[in-house]
């Protein structure tokens, strides 16, 4: 029996390590897959892409709302030394501009309230004194604009509004 103490202890240590590693890394792993998949579906880095109306054949992330129109921008601050300028164009109806880090945290959301909203995304360690600076906990992540559009007519209005959305890397 004593001969099994060592293997048993190793089993517990490895089991705990596997358990906590999976729980810890699962969100970033899933987020990374979503980041990659958005790219494969046409969302470039540092550019908003308006998704088609959410329907069974167009959904790309879990549990989308068919009543909302989604515009996504993938960001990578290692490719944007001066930060990323983000503009959500005005929309008559509910709209929000939300920022998600690599750990899936929604670290900032700005409500539209019928007006255009603008900010500059910078790394959390940046010493930016720029007005409207938004500090990102991670280099990579996703910026998402939601606009309420339950009908085809509403979605057509979103298409027009989304032409004014901006997600662009700034130089030094």
Binding site for another protein (CB under 8 A): 3-4, 6-8, 10-24, 26-27, 30-31, 34, 54-57, 59, 61-67, 94, 96, 98, 100, 103-107, 109, 111, 142, 144, 146, 148, 150
Which residue, 150 or 164, is less far from another protein as judged by CB?
150
- Calpha distance 139→137 (Å, rounded): 7
Q: Are strands 117-123 and 133-136 parallel, antiparallel or unpaired?
A: parallel
Backbone torsions φ then ψ of 89, nearest 5 degrees? -70, 155
Cβ at position 60, least distance to another protein in Å: 10
Least distance (Å) from another protein to the CB of residue 91? 13
Q: Return the number of the residue (107 or 170) whose C-beta is nearest another protein.
A: 107
Taking a C-beta distance cutoff of 8 angstroms, is the pair 166, 62 a contact? no
C-beta of 10 vs 44, nearer to another protein: 10
Please report how close the Cβ of residue 108 comes to another protein at its closest, in angstroms. Answer: 9
Shortest Å, Cβ 16 to another protein: 6
How many whole angstroms separate alpha carbon 46 and alpha carbon 123? 15
Contact residues for 165 (Cβ-Cβ < 8 A; gap 6+): 48, 50, 71, 87, 88, 89, 145
Which class for 127: exposed (0-12), middle (13-18), buried (19 or more C-beta within 10 A)? exposed
| Closer CB to another protein, 85 or 146, in the complex | 146
Identity of the residue, 79 or 113, whose beta carbon is nearer to another protein in the bound complex? 113
Rounded least distance, CB 2 to another protein, Å: 13
Strand partners for 76: 140
Q: Which residue has the tokens 């690599």?
A: 102
Task: Give, in degrees to the nearest 5, the angle at Cα 84 between 80 and 88.
Answer: 155
């Amino acid at each position: 029996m004593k001969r099994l103490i060592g293997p048993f202890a190793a089993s517990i240590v490895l089991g705990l390590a596997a358990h906590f590693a999976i729980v810890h890394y699962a969100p970033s792993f899933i987020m990374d897959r979503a980041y990659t998949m958005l790219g494969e579906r046409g969302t470039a880095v540092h550019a908003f892409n308006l998704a088609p109306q959410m329907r069974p054949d167009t959904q790309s992330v879990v549990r989308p709302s068919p009543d909302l129109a989604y515009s996504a921008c993938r960001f990578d601050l290692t490719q944007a030394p001066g930060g990323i300028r983000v503009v959500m164009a005005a929309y008559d109806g509910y709209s929000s501009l939300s920022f998600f880090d690599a750990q899936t945290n929604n670290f900032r959301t700005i409500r539209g309230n019928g007006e255009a909203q603008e900010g500059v995304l910078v790394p959390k360690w940046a010493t930016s004194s720029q007005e409207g600076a938004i500090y990102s906990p991670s280099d990579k992540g996703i910026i998402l604009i939601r606009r309420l559009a339950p009908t085809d007519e509403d979605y057509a209005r979103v298409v027009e509004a989304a032409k004014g959305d901006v997600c662009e890397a700034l130089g030094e």
